[in-house]
Amino acid sequence: MDQEIFGKVDHYISQMLAPEDEVLQETIKSLDTAEMPQISVTANQGKFLQVIALMCHAKRVLELGTLAGYSTIWLARSVPEDGKIVTIEFDPRHANVAKENIKNAGLLDKVDIRVGKAMDLMLEIKEAKEEPFDLIFIDADKPPYAEYFEMALSLSHPGTVIICDNVIREGKVLDENSTDDRVIGVQRFNKMLASNKSVTATILQTVGVKEYDGMAIAVVK
């Protein structure tokens, strides 16, 4: 099997079970308009996040890596009316694009966009003793993934689901001699996850229009 069939099946699943409405389509287009990278999750992955949020009855969600707000919209549509998505974005320009997209989706009342370094803002959340999160989605810069996860644990409760994207890197995680900071970051993360006694976790390989990667899924004990 080759990449072509994976892409076709991805489109098949998305068209049947995760069709994009105009808001989601415009969100993807906004990336090109703003000259931002096309690295959002796919429609099928967005629906996956939505399903997981519904499965764990998520009311409070933390997202690291807003980009243009594509995954944020999928998640915000899954929480109840009094739910909240706290999404963290390092780049102010990206955050502004995301805010417009989330506004167009009619979801600004459910989304709290915070701009700055993820570790700093997560520490602020911890020190402010905000309510723990029911679902945490990590899709930010890869080198500090292990540290992000450890901090995420401190913002969780038993039963919190933590999902981390891009942890296989087209199989490059198998290269112990890699000099790519992103690969090294997820290698460190994967090893940490394997020995972490605070969660029950696994990694699912993913294929599709975004080629070959993987998502780590953990449930806090």
Among residues of the chain, what percentage have pLDDT more than 70? 100
Can you give the C-alpha Rg of the chain in angstroms? Answer: 17
Q: Is the Cβ–Cβ distance between 75 and 53 less than 8 Å?
A: yes
Q: Calculate the average pLDDT of the chain.
A: 97
Q: Is the Cβ–Cβ distance between 217 and 197 less than 8 Å?
A: no
Say what the pTM is.
0.97
- What are the pLDDT digits (tens) for 95-113? 999 999 999 999 999 999 9
Tell me which DSSP letter residue 142 carries: S
Mean pLDDT for the stretch of residues 31-47: 96
**What does the pLDDT read at residue 211?**
83
Residue 2 confidence (pLDDT) above 80:
no
Among residues of the chain, what percentage have pLDDT more than 90? 96
**What does the pLDDT read at residue 1?**
59
Q: Is the Cβ–Cβ distance between 152 and 197 less than 8 Å?
A: no
Mean pLDDT for the stretch of residues 32-52: 96
Mean pLDDT for the stretch of residues 161-178: 97
Mean pLDDT for the stretch of residues 172-196: 98
Residue 194's Cβ-count burial label (10 Å; 0-12, 13-18, 19+) is: exposed
Mean pLDDT for the stretch of residues 167-190: 97
Distance CA 43, CA 19 (A): 7
**What does the pLDDT read at residue 210?**
83
